[in-house]
Structure 1
């Protein structure tokens, strides 16, 4: 006889939330989470005790940091989690892995037992946050040893004026990394004018629409980066082609975190970007720069 009422609803986990029950997840550095109450999305930068409670600090895509009580009320990839403090065992595993690495992500021999150099007067400018995060991930160890600071620009439209304001000197050099630097573009005309401002500036770039493209597509399981038609937001279009959330700026930030997480070392980046960044680092770390000050 057919049961017109179906199975017994009480035999299942009928009280389970639509997204599933929250799972304990360690708040390890770099984990991207969303606070359910405020909608704040950011990567874990640290966990600390404050006022008798444990607080997790999340940094959003604009570099703003906000603290939240460790525990329930967070989402990771849309699923509820209960954030917990990293265990001593996990911290020890991370420390052991770092100690075992003999080279930096850029391929340089890792320098141990040496404090980061006080920032020199020279700088490297990049166009945006994603550029800065990629440079930090691959070349961060080298730059700290050399005392070179990477700073973000909000585009390059006013590059000549910014260079004049910086006032480069032989001991206070400036390197600039520009996106989509190909002949005939607006960027190429801006760079041609800016290069005349000072002989102590080196401006280099890469041909990609966005620094995302400098990550080898194979790292994402692709043969090539998708082609996005004119008039469509390139980043949102890429995320859509990848089948990832792509409607909001938060989706863009999360998408970039996923892409950045696939970069293990310089070998995961295209040679054009590698050559430009390496040349800029060489330019701003000439011996005469050692006398500069921040």
Structure 2
């Protein structure tokens, strides 16, 4: 619903949504007291989902491109991966096969005959890293499924990597799509996802630190991301994905220090070390089109 409000150019509040999309439901008593259904408040809190009829009203107030983008998000596999309840192997098999081909290639064995049903690989650290590198909701949905699907084999190192990768992406969600309801997202993860998944058996310090610790990490992620934008290191969504992933693969502490140092420099001059920001930018440039590459300034 935050995306709905952003597209509509209104505040993230139930009354504003209701006034725009269903103004006829807002009435007044004889004494002037305003009456309304408040269902939009529940949509914003995430406790209820809009009906198909309500979704059509929302889409009708947007441009075709905005409506399509919102529909893709609302129907995203992420919600299938996060569904509540015990979910069997058949459920997860259908889910995996709904994901983009680039992700399926990471998790399924190569089937040369084409006549046999797809079977999953043993999940190893390289698979988890490949998914995290994609850094989008599709990859996150797959990571969640690998945590919850009890029918697959995940080796020990991959279990640790899964915990780290999912926690990092949750931090990202807390500062992006769920920034208006961070506690609700965290509570759902803590009570529904973590308790009945591989996340309950590894890297417990990440998940037992509670909301405050995780939100602190998320705020730090946002701070460094905003600094990178101001420094011209991050511009496009692709560069943001690369920045967030490769920063984790390098000397993260040094990169963070140099981001702060460059941001506080009156001329935004980057430090000259080769293993900090310079390494990160050079690595990002290898994966960016020439016109999107970052120039290293000293």
TM more than 0.5? no
More strand by share: 1
TM-score between the two structures when normalised by the length of structure 1: 0.24
More helix by share: 2
TM-score between the two structures when normalised by the length of structure 2: 0.24
Which one has the largest radius of gyration?
1
Greater relative contact order (Cα 8 A, min sep 6): structure 1 or 2?
Answer: 1
